Every structure is written in structure tokens, then in C-alpha cells.
Structure 1
């Protein structure tokens, strides 16, 4: 599986230039759900978190032409292309970038060209971890993990703290398979606010799901065959 190394190296520009100041030191805690909400999938999708006296709603967003759904803070917005080019100067910049109002917390997702079988994901995750440790200025290695989230999606997770311009940057890299291709996502924030935002990162992982493709209606099929 040595062919993977080139794909992994191409990803490093997605996380290498993301250090920005972050002054958010608030404490994050999930609001308790009622028993009816705990049994309600919709309530899970619209989870509310509390940062100090502020409530943050996580809402589902459909991305990549309707193929994938993920929950992100409602206040996060898509980063404009010009800003993305500046913040991610590499040609391998993420395809989708959600960022906080201050642009200090980022959630990204991109498809890769790498073809991979589902049973190869754990090995691929470890290979990516090895390459990252060789090319990134790692300050604190948090390790790797393989999880299966609520929707049944297998995800490889790589966690580490890397040196930034003004402060160290906490990263979670997410790897999963969609239609035989590797999908690569990241969550990052300043190390000083890592404990604050870890619940958001956890909900991000659990909310990822592949959406079923909509089949054309019988009428459209019939017309197409004429």
C-alpha cells in the first residue's frame, strides 16, 4: 500500500497553515435532553451546547453535492474562496471549509483520489499518522482511533497538537470511505481552547453520514426510455 504515501503527503497543506489567534476560553457543556428528546433522532441532529452563558446550536448541513451530511455550529459559515486561498495556499486546500465568526475554529472536508476498500481503512489511518509525524511539527501526539458512528460509518481519527505561528493548534483528522474513495476531514482549534471545543469535535464525528442517492421517479425513467 505504498501508493498511499503520496496521497497522504498531499493532504498536509490542509492543516499546516491554520494557526490563528483564539481568545475563546469559555467552558462548553451540553444541555441536558429530556427523555423524549433522547429517543428522537431529530433532537440529536439539532443538539444544543452551552459555552458559558451562550447557547450554540449544531445543525445538519448537506455538502459535496448532497452526498454527505454533517452537523456544525449554526454560527459557522462557509469560508469564501479568496480567504480559503490565503489561509490554505496549497493547491490541495479543502473543498469544504466551515469556519467560526473569528475564523479560529475550522471544520473541513474533501474527497481524495485514493481508492480504498473498507477493510483497508485502519491500515491507511496508521500510515497517514506515520507520515504526519514525519512532516508536521508535532508538539503533543494524541494518537489514533477507529470508530463506528451512529449512522454505522467507519471513521479513522488522528489527533495531535502541532506548532502554530502564535500558539499550538489542536487537530483531529477524520478518514472514511465514500463510493470507494477516501474522504478526508479536519477539525482544528487553538490548543488553549481544545477542552472547550472537544464536544463539538465529538458531535462532528457522530453526525457524519452518507446520504442515499435519490432515484429518479418512474415517470422520469419512462420518459428517458422513450
Structure 2
């Protein structure tokens, strides 16, 4: 299982939002590149970068920061937020991004996801399913769809998607532990590899996710507040491989 630290970008800064609420923002660093360097030094093998402005507005206003990160990173980057079409996804991969994550587009324009898979291959494309009470949310979690999580997973799998990143919005940045029940349900109902985000607060949480068979765990609040030491988390999970 990959231990994947997150860098959430808002206005060019590294921030965290409480349960996706843009009015409840904490700025953790004004230099996302410095944060990336720290994660690399701690032994992370991949970093999840979210353009929060792009996710909400569909305009990738942090594109310059993302490009700088992709140009200098020594580990693979997974990028999400504002990726609404296959053309944007392909451009990011060309710039050095390892994986692109479709969220809103997977609900509103699934043909773009299918096109991206056809052009880039299934290993480059992730679908992010952000859910509140079992219903998929879109546009930076500001809008609710009428799509249930498992229905979405099955549809994406039928299109050739091989990796799903699931975020429980109600737990995001709460340190209230991940939604283990949802993770188990996803693993029981699809052959897609599953990444889990939201609520992870301890190395014990990571070990439990690994035991379930999760492919990757995305860490945010816990590492920024010091509840989890990233280097220790990486080494512990590696030791249990």
C-alpha cells in the first residue's frame, strides 16, 4: 500500500479545508515546493496534489505551481482539480505528471475519461469519487449529484478505469478515522484498486486499511498537524509489506 501525502493548493498556497468548506481554511505553508521537498525527504513514493480552485471553478489557476512541481519532483505526482477533459489530462502527463484524477468530469463528461484512458492508458488515469452520505459530490464538493457511489464505481469499471480514489467528505480533515466500512464495501464490489482519503489520523488507521487490501492511503491533516510522522508511516507500512 502506498502512503501518499497530499498537497492541497488554494491561491498558490498549501492549505487544508475542513470537510471541503472553503470558508474553513487553514494555511500550512506559502511554498508548496518546499512542502514537496519535505515529503520527498521523508521517503514518500508519491504525492497527491489537488488544485482546489480548479476543482471548484473548473479553471486551473494553480497550473503554474503544478507545472513547477512536476518539473522538479523526484517522485511521481498525482494531480486532481479542474481536469475536465482528455486534452488537459494529456498535457499534464506530457509535463511530467504520473497520474491524473478525474472527479467532476467522471460524472458530467465520462466520455472524456474514456478518451483519456484510450490515449494515456489505464495506469495514468484515476477517478476520484468524493462522497457525502453515499452520494457523489462534484465541483470541489460544492454540488451534489444524484449518483450513488457503488453505481459510479461500476460504471467507471465498465469503462476500463482500474483505480478509484474515494474520499469521505464528512471525515476529511476531521481526524475522525477513515470510513473503513465504505472502503470494505468498495473492495467487495469492484476489482478496481482503491485509494482512501479522509479522516486518517494514525498509523493504526493505515495498518487497518492495508489489511483491508487498500492500494493507497492519502494523508492530509494528520501529517500537517503532526499526528502522523510521515517518515515513520512510510517505514512502518513498508515493514508490513
**Band the TM-score falls in, shorter-chain normalisation:** under 0.3
Instruction: Give the TM-score normalised by structure 1.
Output: 0.26
User: Higher Cα Rg: structure 1 or 2?
Assistant: 1
- Larger relative contact order (C-alpha < 8 A, sep ≥ 6)? 1
Higher strand share: 1
Instruction: Give the TM-score normalised by structure 2.
Output: 0.25
Higher helix share: 2
